[in-house]
């Protein structure tokens, strides 16, 4: 009910703009031109300014002087939705809508300093993606954080709100880079990226084929982003290959999704389902794969494209073998009492969801072997398969697979030393 009403009010506001809004608009713009000139310039360059969508359409007109700035409302995604229902609807159905919720679903988030989460300098700077529930907003306000109420300005930044800016791959860079998801580094150094840069420099014609992040992931302007394997690189149903099934089960145990002893699903499965963290049916996975194949096939032979994507699936299988071997070594240390269950951990078993804080709630009890294990999963396994999909040979081998083998060696060596010194101490 709320949205149609909002549309009506906004539509009226826009239609009546020349007369009714002129005064309010003037005062906002005049005062803010002196106060925040960069903001006003940005707005003036926007389609919004040209269409008469002034400051007060998004911020209301309750605040009108220097002493009542607290009365200005900060527009959430619903405000944009009143005029951009299509993009809003797609966004809501896609993976970006879960950024804030997945962040808060992890135990480690609640062990980190608040300014890294709510302050938006760390995790929260990237995971602000996603519409916050009324509860989540109230929680933020109670903690004293009142910005970051809108995800739409993550790609078309305020107050230019430009489509062209959002189509530039740099719009994705801030978040899709670095430690555990270096898609930016992989794409820029791939032939796809090299062509895009050559085009920008005028060395290839405007018509040259050079796929960007948006071309492959927001085809046709669709805001519903999602991939087949997702971030975690796991899916259901289990594969036909027995070894791969066993290896994936081991990884799911370290993710806390399967019970380490019984192998049964834990409560976390509900969370994974709620935030769409992995494709849980063959059909859901295939839908995404088919969409991607169609995109590749705009420029490559379909059989060529299929082969490339299947190479990505195949490396995931081999990477999972190494990964499971390492997890089992650390799991055995728990079993033999050489590592004891950390405070806050659900089981006596390694748990990736605590990230580098491998001591659970206890910073004096960090476990180094588990930090090596975490990097193997989060940094190096990610690179190994993500690089295959983003056609980056260097990331696939040297920053990915080669580092996984090094990690496995380190885990083996550390376990040997731990066992030796443990017995000696007894
Ligand atoms: C007489 C000057 C003046 C006028 C007129 C004015 N503002 Fe402001 N505005 C301010 C000042 C001062 C601040 C506070 C800046 C700060 O916090 O550093 C502010 C802050 C804001 C904020 C930020 C609020 C927050 O929570 O941080 C918004 C949004 C805003 N104004 C929008 C508007 C809109 C929309 C109008 C017109 C309806 C308007 N302003 C009219 C001076 C003005
Ligand atoms: C199309 C909607 C829209 C219009 C029009 C708009 N804003 Fe905003 N504005 C936003 C959004 C979204 C935010 C970010 C809110 C948040 O972070 O919670 C914002 C934030 C702000 C802030 C606080 C954050 C900061 O960066 O300082 C100020 C001040 C502000 N706007 C002023 C203005 C002024 C002045 C105008 C008119 C010249 C204007 N806005 C027009 C959507 C709009
Ligand atoms: C009152 C209606 C209204 C509201 C509210 C509104 N917009 Fe718009 N927006 C428009 C109109 C009208 C256009 C111009 C459409 C066109 O060019 O055909 C536009 C254009 C855009 C564009 C495309 C700009 C370009 O470069 O072509 C983006 C992106 C956009 N809006 C984002 C937003 C976001 C994000 C919000 C919320 C913070 C928002 N809008 C709120 C009406 C609105
Ligand atoms: C402000 C940070 C931010 C920006 C900017 C951003 N993303 Fe994301 N993206 C995220 C986060 C966070 C997730 C994971 C959401 C979650 O937790 O469920 C994500 C997820 C995705 C996924 C889904 C992966 C999967 O699990 O299947 C794709 C695809 C994606 N982003 C593409 C893009 C593209 C393309 C752009 C640029 C047009 C972009 N993103 C810009 C933060 C961002
Ligand atoms: C530089 C930006 C950035 C920072 C900082 C960041 N993340 Fe992320 N995170 C992302 C992006 C982008 C994705 C999606 C990557 C992909 O699909 O390859 C993601 C994915 C995730 C996912 C998986 C979501 C899913 O459904 O697949 C979780 C959980 C997560 N991050 C938690 C965290 C936590 C907890 C922190 C802080 C301790 C954090 N992130 C810090 C950008 C960031
Ligand atoms: C040529 C097409 C193409 C381009 C360009 C591209 N991607 Fe991807 N991307 C893929 C494919 C294929 C996958 C794997 C899909 C699957 O799971 O089957 C993928 C997966 C992803 C994922 C999920 C995790 C992963 O890496 O496997 C994210 C997030 C992502 N891409 C973001 C980006 C960003 C950001 C850019 C630009 C810097 C980008 N992609 C450029 C094709 C592309
Ligand atoms: C992950 C980055 C990203 C986020 C987040 C995002 N957009 Fe966009 N948006 C884009 C891209 C890329 C385009 C250009 C698509 C195209 O034309 O191929 C676009 C285009 C648009 C357009 C112009 C459509 C047209 O063709 O004229 C509007 C309006 C818009 N977005 C609104 C929104 C709204 C509302 C939100 C929040 C619910 C939002 N966007 C969030 C990347 C994003
Ligand atoms: C918009 C067109 C376009 C799309 C879409 C596209 N590519 Fe490409 N791709 C190219 C071009 C052009 C090259 C450079 C060919 C060369 O090196 O001569 C290239 C190169 C490659 C290469 C490196 C080949 C080599 O010889 O070094 C691979 C692998 C590849 N693409 C796979 C894919 C996959 C997989 C997809 C879909 C996920 C995809 N491409 C989507 C245009 C595209």
Is the CB of 216 within 6 Å of ligand 6?
Answer: yes
- 128 alpha carbon to ligand 3 midpoint, in Å? 21
Q: How confident is the model at residue 171 (pLDDT cuts 50, 70, 90)?
A: very high
User: What's the mean pLDDT when you consider all of the chain?
Assistant: 92
Q: What is the number of the ligand 5 atom nearest to the C-alpha of 105? A: 29
Taking phi over 0 as left and psi of -120 to 50 as alpha, with beta for the rest, 129 belongs to beta
pLDDT in the model for residue 18: 43
pLDDT in the model for residue 8: 43
% of the chain at pLDDT higher than 70? 93
Average the pLDDT over 313-340 and give the result: 98
Backbone angles phi, psi at 265, to 5 degrees: -65, 140
Of residues 139 and 375, more confidently modeled: 375
pLDDT in the model for residue 11: 46
Is the CB of 150 within 6 Å of ligand 3?
Answer: yes
Q: How confident is the model at residue 20 (pLDDT cuts 50, 70, 90)?
A: very low
Is the CB of 225 within 6 Å of ligand 4?
Answer: yes
Distances (CA, A) of 135 to 91, 106, 140, 143, 406: 20, 18, 9, 13, 45
Are 283 and 207 in contact by the 8 Å Cβ rule? The answer is: no
- 127 alpha carbon to ligand 5 midpoint, in Å? 7
Structure-block tokens of residue 408: 């496995």
Q: What is the number of the ligand 7 atom nearest to the C-alpha of 129? A: 5
The residue assigned the tokens 């650390």 is: 330
pLDDT in the model for residue 117: 85
Distances (CA, A) of 255 to 67, 234, 259: 50, 10, 10
Are 226 and 97 in contact by the 8 Å Cβ rule? The answer is: no
Structure-block tokens of residue 274: 């709620």
Is the CB of 148 within 6 Å of ligand 2?
Answer: yes
Q: How far apart are CA 217 and CA 227, in angstroms?
A: 8
Measured CA angle at 289 (ends 230, 167), to 5 deg: 70
Query: Atom 25 in ligand 6: which residue has the minimum CA distance?
Result: 386
**Proximal ligand: closest to the CA of 86:** 7
pLDDT at 422 over 80: yes
Q: How far apart are CA 160 and CA 233, in angstroms?
A: 36
pLDDT at 139 over 50: yes
Structure-block tokens of residue 132: 């916050």
pLDDT in the model for residue 424: 57
pTM: 0.96
Q: How confident is the model at residue 21 (pLDDT cuts 50, 70, 90)?
A: very low
Q: Using most ligand atoms within 8 A of CB, pick from 63, 66, 79, 148 the residue to mutate for ligand 1.
A: 63
Q: How far apart are CA 334 and CA 415, in angstroms?
A: 11
Is the CB of 56 within 6 Å of ligand 1?
Answer: yes
Q: How far apart are CA 397 and CA 229, in angstroms?
A: 20
pLDDT in the model for residue 17: 46
Is the CB of 31 within 6 Å of ligand 1?
Answer: yes
**Proximal ligand: closest to the CA of 389:** 6
Average the pLDDT over 303-325 and give the result: 97
Residues composing the chain: 426
Q: 48-57, 114-123, 214-223, 403-412: which has the minimum mean pLDDT?
A: 114-123
Is the CB of 35 within 6 Å of ligand 1?
Answer: yes
Which domains, and CATH codes, for the chain? 182-224 (no CATH), 226-425 (1.20.850.10)
H/E stretch holding 120 reads: none
Q: How confident is the model at residue 25 (pLDDT cuts 50, 70, 90)?
A: low
Is the CB of 309 within 6 Å of ligand 8?
Answer: yes
Is the CB of 79 within 6 Å of ligand 3?
Answer: yes
pLDDT in the model for residue 115: 85
- 69 alpha carbon to ligand 1 midpoint, in Å? 5
pLDDT in the model for residue 238: 95
Query: Atom 16 in ligand 8: which residue has the minimum CA distance?
Result: 191
Q: Using most ligand atoms within 8 A of CB, pick from 127, 182, 383 the residue to mutate for ligand 5.
A: 127
Q: How confident is the model at residue 121 (pLDDT cuts 50, 70, 90)?
A: confident
Of residues 186 and 7, more confidently modeled: 186
Is the CB of 29 within 6 Å of ligand 1?
Answer: no
How does pLDDT run across 197-231, given as a tens digit for each residue? Answer: 999 999 999 999 999 999 999 999 999 999 999 99
Of residues 20 and 150, more confidently modeled: 150
pLDDT at 119 over 80: no
Query: Can you give the three-state secondary structure of the chain, one letter per residue?
Result: CHHHHHHHHHHHHHHCHHHHHHHHHHHHHHHHHHHCHHHHHHHHCCHHHHCCCCHHHHHCCCCCCCCCHHHCCCCCHHHHHCCCHHHHHHHHHCHHHHHHHHHHHCHHHHHCCHHHHCCCCCHHHHHCCCCCCHHHHHHHHHCCCCCCCCCHHHCCCCCCCCHHHHHCCHHHHCCCCCCCCCHHHHHHCCHHHHHHHHHHCCCCCCCCCCCCHHHHHCHHHCCCCCCCCCCCCCCCCCCCCHHHHHHHHHHHHHCCCECCCCCCECCHHHHHHHCCCCCCCHHHHHHHHHHHHHHHCCCCCHHHHHHHHHHHHHHHHHHHHHHHHHHHHHHHHHHCCCCCCCCCCCCCCCCHHHCCCCCCCCHHHCCHHHHHHHHHHHHHHHHHHHHHHCCCHHHHHHHHHHHHHHHHHHHHHHHHHHHHHHHHHC
pLDDT in the model for residue 6: 47
- 73 alpha carbon to ligand 2 midpoint, in Å? 9
How does pLDDT run across 31-41, given as a tens digit for each residue? Answer: 999 999 999 99
pLDDT at 132 over 60: yes
Decide: residue 395, CB within 10 A, 0-12 exposed, 13-18 middle, 19+ buried: buried
pLDDT at 277 over 70: yes
Average the pLDDT over 100-125 and give the result: 88
H/E stretch holding 3 reads: helix 2-15
Backbone angles phi, psi at 243, to 5 degrees: -60, -45
Structure-block tokens of residue 114: 């608040």
How many CB atoms lie under 10 A from the CB of residue 250? 22
pLDDT at 290 over 60: yes
């Amino acid at each position: 009910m709320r949205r149609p009403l909002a549309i009506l009010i906004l539509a009226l506001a826009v239609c009546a703009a020349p007369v009714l809004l002129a005064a309010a608009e003037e005062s906002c713009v005049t005062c803010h031109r002196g106060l925040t000139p960069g903001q006003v310039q940005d707005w003036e360059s926007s389609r919004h300014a040209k269409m008469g969508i002034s400051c007060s359409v998004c911020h209301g007109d309750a605040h009108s002087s220097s002493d009542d700035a607290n009365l200005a409302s900060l527009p959430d995604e619903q405000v944009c939705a009143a005029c951009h229902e299509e993009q809003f609807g797609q966004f809501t159905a896609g993976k970006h809508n879960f950024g804030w919720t997945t962040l808060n679903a992890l135990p480690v988030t609640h062990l980190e300093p608040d300014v890294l989460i709510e302050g938006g300098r760390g995790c929260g700077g990237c995971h602000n993606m996603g519409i916050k529930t009324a509860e989540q907003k109230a929680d933020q306000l109670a903690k004293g954080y009142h910005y970051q109420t809108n995800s739409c300005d993550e790609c078309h930044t305020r107050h230019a709100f430009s489509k062209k800016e959002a189509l530039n791959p740099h719009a994705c860079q801030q978040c899709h880079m670095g430690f555990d998801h270096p898609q930016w580094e992989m794409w820029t150094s791939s032939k796809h990226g090299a062509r895009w840069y050559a085009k920008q420099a005028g060395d290839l014609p405007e018509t040259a084929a050079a796929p960007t992040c948006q071309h492959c992931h927001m085809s046709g302007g669709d805001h519903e982003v999602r991939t087949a394997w997702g971030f975690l690189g796991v899916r259901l149903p289990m594969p036909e290959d027995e070894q791969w099934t066993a290896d994936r089960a081991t990884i799911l145990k370290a993710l806390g999704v399967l019970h380490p002893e019984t192998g049964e699903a834990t409560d976390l499965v509900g969370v994974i389902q709620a935030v769409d963290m992995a494709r849980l049916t063959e059909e859901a996975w295939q839908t995404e794969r088919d969409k991607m194949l169609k995109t590749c096939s705009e420029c490559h032979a379909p059989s060529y494209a299929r082969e490339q994507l299947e190479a990505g699936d195949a490396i995931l299988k081999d990477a999972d073998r190494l990964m499971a071997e390492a997890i089992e070594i650390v799991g055995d240390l728990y079993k033999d009492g050489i590592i004891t269950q950390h405070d806050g951990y659900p089981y006596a078993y390694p748990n990736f969801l605590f990230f580098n804080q491998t001591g659970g709630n206890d910073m004096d009890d960090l476990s180094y072997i588990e930090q090596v294990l975490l990097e193997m999963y989060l940094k190096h396994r990610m690179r190994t398969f993500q690089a295959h999909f983003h056609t980056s040979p260097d990331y696939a081998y040297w920053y990915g697979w080669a580092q996984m083998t090094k990690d496995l060696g380190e885990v083996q060596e550390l376990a040997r030393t731990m066992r030796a010194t443990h017995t000696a101490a007894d």
